[in-house]
Chains A and B, each alone.
Chain A
Amino acid sequence: AQRVTQPEKLLSVFKGAPVELKCNYSYSGSPELFWYVQYSRQRLQLLLRHISRESIKGFTADLNKGETSFHLKKPFAQEEDSAMYYCALSGRASGTYKYIFGTGTRLKVLA
């Protein structure tokens, strides 16, 4: 079955501390994985996709096929990083590229 798991509902860290938001997936085939961020009262915005291997706002994520993980990391958290973070998998197998989302992790960065 296709599934995305984000084990933490809430993650609180102090400003300047490292952050790791966990994402594990289950998918038969070659997945496309994304991280979306939702700031308070705003729309879902793409933060990262695994295929581009870029760093956005200091965040990085590496696809580990052996561990079926796509964890999001940032070495030094900032207060403005406080938001909901969703890991998503693109369902290429179906041909429609629908997204399968995790339940999301709320990141709170404390001053």
Chain B
Amino acid sequence: EPEVTQTPSHQVTQMGQEVILRCVPISNHLYFYWYRQILGQKVEFLVSFYNNEISEKSEIFDDQFSVERPDGSNFTLKIRSTKLEDSAMYFCASRGTGGDEQFFGPGTRLTVL
């Protein structure tokens, strides 16, 4: 069964550094999402992406964040200048055209020191 994959599983970075989190959605899916979960808190929506553009973003998704689908398979989340409060688990999800169900990747744990 196809799965969403994410790399790396754990990323440690210094405050102010740029990070890129990578996701490979399920191949025939067209809708892509990023969520984050700060330790002990709920899973929060960051951004949705369709047809090579952002379709919706939350207030968390400020100018420090960007998303890209650089080729036919990868979907990336870039944080330009990381802050301590960006430390969280970041989940990628994708959805096909047949319904509402989203399929989640295993997550990337980002630790900002």
Contact = CB atoms under 8 A, between A and B. Distances in A.
Contact of A102 (B42, B48, B50, B91): B42
Contacts of B68: none
Interface stretch (A11-19, A40-48, A53-61, A75-83): A40-48
A104 B41 CA distance: 9
Interface in A19-67: 32, 34, 36, 42-46, 49
B104 interface: yes
A49 B98 CA distance: 14
Interface string B79-108: 000000000000101010000111111110
Closest 6 CB pairs of A and B: A44-B104, A96-B48, A101-B43, A96-B56, A103-B42, A90-B100
B31 A97 contact: yes
Interface of A: 32, 34, 36, 42-46, 49, 86, 90, 92, 94-104
Contact of B42 (A32, A36, A49, A101): A101
How would you classify the secondary structure of chain B's contact residues: helix, strand, loop or mixed?
Answer: strand
Contacts of A49: 100-101
A44 B33 CA distance: 14
A98 B106 contact: no
13 contacts: A43-B104, A43-B105, A86-B43, A96-B31, A96-B55, A96-B56, A97-B102, A99-B93, A100-B45, A101-B42, A102-B42, A104-B42, A104-B43
A95 B51 CA distance: 14
Contact of A101 (B31, B44, B50, B55): B44
Contacts of B45: 98-100
Contacts of A86: 43
Contacts of B75: none
